[in-house]
Structure 1
Amino acid sequence: MQTPPETLTAVILAGGQGRRMGGRNKGWVEYRGRPLIEYAIERLRPQAAQLAISSNTDIDRYRALGFPVLTDSHPDYRGPLAGIAAAFAAFPDHEILCAPVDAPELPRDLERRLRQALEAGTAPAAIAHDGERLQPLFGLLRPVLADRLDRELARGALAVGRWFRDVGALTVDFSDQPRAFANINTPEDLQPSPPGP
């Protein structure tokens, strides 16, 4: 596997409000005997030179894992793009590879495939598509987006998919591994799948 460039930082987006999980921070929800944050670290850490966690709660608990914890600069919740903005602020001039904490089977080749698409053109970002729907929180963003993101977040929360469309992000086909994007949103999602017929 190729060594990731020093200016590539992976960020686990763990700052959601977890409303459908009763307000729990989803990174610490256990799935198959392990907290979701462990799956995210295991899969994302090898794909970048360094890793950080974006969260506004359980900060000390996340820091104990040995990675920087990034908090949003806005006092009100402005969505996952605020976590990406915090990553750009903490790692100036770095590319940001992001993924949400609640997808325990996220692609192990996420960075490689997104990069192949980016390097083929001049787009500022590449995001995943699972074959059925856009998965914009699985993305690779160039630092040229940092200032624009800050300016637009200053006006309020942004719709993630729309924002990536507006900045001209490329869409990368991951329809060969749609299960990689299955996320844990509710307590029901934590239950093992029933056996097939």
Structure 2
Amino acid sequence: MNGLRACLLSGGASRRMGTDKALLPHPAGGTWLEFSLAQLAALPLPITLVSHHRAHQALARPLRDGLGHPISVLEEPLPREGPLLALDRLMAHHPGQGLLLCPVDMPWLEVATLEALVGAAATPAAAGAPAAIHLAHDGRRLQPLLGVYPDDPGQRERLAAFTAAGGRRLQDWLAGEAVVPVALPPAGLRNANTPDDATGLWP
């Protein structure tokens, strides 16, 4: 896991949920935000929280990452136009580090799933092969917000050029990159975007 940083995306407006998803109570204790940070902190990795919400930052600052250090906060400046732009800013902010990207709205996510994803991405690439992005796959589709984005200067440059030209769809940018799907247990990869998604979430 050397050179890898865990990054939690928590800057969304939660319009479909009708309330801030990150601050919803989690049955494991605390909020969805604190649960997600705790899952990431079980890995021996530094953590960056990406959010402009002051309430999120206030919850994260007393917490520690997987190395026992304070969790870093990257406050998103304007414009705030989705996860691709956040990824671009993370790559620029943490050059020389691969990024384990994770969204705050996967409240079923387990540490074992994160470990499996990181382990798959640690497999050495073939000589001369481009650095591949390893993305979670639930058996039906890719989950690009849960993935390992390697430290690759060429990839950073391509993403910066894509967003500078107005590109904002993560899937559109990924279409031009080397991507490796990583099959993971689908139950932990579910997103909760609406109140119906969260109904019956736990017994």
Task: Name the amino acid aligned to 1:185.
Answer: N
State the percentage of identical aligned residues: 30
Return the TM-score normalized by structure 1.
0.82
- SS in structure 1 of the partner of residue 175 of structure 2: helix
**Match for 1:63 among 61, 64, 72?**
61
Q: Return the alpha-carbon distance in structure 1 between the equivalents of residues 80 and 119 of structure 2.
A: 31
Q: Are the aligned partners of 2:162 and 2:173 in contact in 1 as well (CA < 8 Å)?
A: no
Change (3 A) 1:156 1:57: farther
Q: CA deviation at 1:49?
A: 2.2
Query: What is the total number of aligned residue pairs between the two structures?
Result: 186
Task: Name the amino acid aligned to 2:114.
Answer: R
Deviates more, 1:41-50 or 1:145-154: 41-50
- In the other structure, the counterpart of 1:39 is 35
**Match for 1:21 among 17, 21, 41?**
17
Gaps of 5+ in 1: none
Change (3 A) 1:21 1:49: same
- In the other structure, the counterpart of 2:67 is none
Change (3 A) 1:126 1:60: closer
Q: Are the aligned partners of 1:127 and 1:138 in contact in 2 as well (CA < 8 Å)?
A: yes
The 5 A counterparts of 1:93-112 are 93-106=96-109, 107-109=113-115, 110-112=117-119
Return the TM-score normalized by structure 2.
0.80
Gaps of 5+ in 2: 64-69
Q: Are the aligned partners of 1:13 and 1:98 in contact in 2 as well (CA < 8 Å)?
A: yes
Task: Name the amino acid aligned to 1:115.
Answer: A
- SS in structure 2 of the partner of residue 49 of structure 1: coil
Deviates more, 1:53-62 or 1:88-97: 53-62
- Structure 1, residues 36-90: CA drift from partner, whole Å, max 9, x if none? 11221122223352011111222542334341111335x2222112222222222
What is the Cα-based RMSD across aligned positions, in Å?
2.3
Change (3 A) 1:194 1:127: closer
- In the other structure, the counterpart of 1:169 is 179
